[in-house]
């Protein structure tokens, strides 16, 4: 199966605690079928102090989401949609399946 989401895509979350939020794809894990979206699915991680006398801290990181829980955000529709492909001048172009606009 081909992984259709790419780094830099604008997506909308369709399921989970971050449902309805939008963000940009930061990292893609095609073998695990997961994506990391900026500002979505934040989890807190504790960091130990590295030097003596310096305090540890709690950091918020974006955890990976399953790719089935996000959809590409189409600016033409203003909604989430599926990705299709079209051949234009010997080049394969990604399009929105709903409005057939180039993504």
- Global confidence as pTM: 0.83
Quick one: pLDDT at residue 3?
A: 87
Q: Residue written as tokens 């399946």?
A: 97
Quick one: pLDDT at residue 29?
A: 96
Domains in the chain, CATH or no CATH each: 10-96 (2.30.30.30)
Whether residue 1 has pLDDT greater than 70: no
Q: What is the pLDDT of residues 56-102, one digit of tens each?
A: 899 999 999 999 999 999 988 899 999 999 999 889 999 999 998 99
Quick one: pLDDT at residue 33?
A: 94
Q: How confident is the model at residue 54 (pLDDT cuts 50, 70, 90)?
A: confident
Q: Report yes or no: 21 and 12 within 8 Å, Cβ to Cβ.
A: yes
CA gap 62, 38 in Å, rounded: 6
CA gap 103, 59 in Å, rounded: 34
């Amino acid at each position: 199966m081909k992984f259709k989401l790419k780094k830099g895509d604008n997506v909308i979350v369709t399921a989970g605690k971050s449902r309805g939020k939008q963000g940009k794809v930061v990292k893609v894990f095609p073998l695990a079928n997961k994506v990391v979206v900026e500002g979505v699915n934040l989890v807190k991680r504790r960091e130990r102090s590295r030097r003596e006398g310096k305090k540890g801290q709690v950091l918020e990181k974006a955890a990976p989401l399953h790719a089935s829980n996000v959809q590409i955000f189409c600016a033409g529709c203003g909604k989430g949609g599926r990705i299709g492909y079209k051949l234009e001048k010997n080049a394969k172009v990604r399009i929105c399946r709903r409005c057939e606009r180039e993504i």
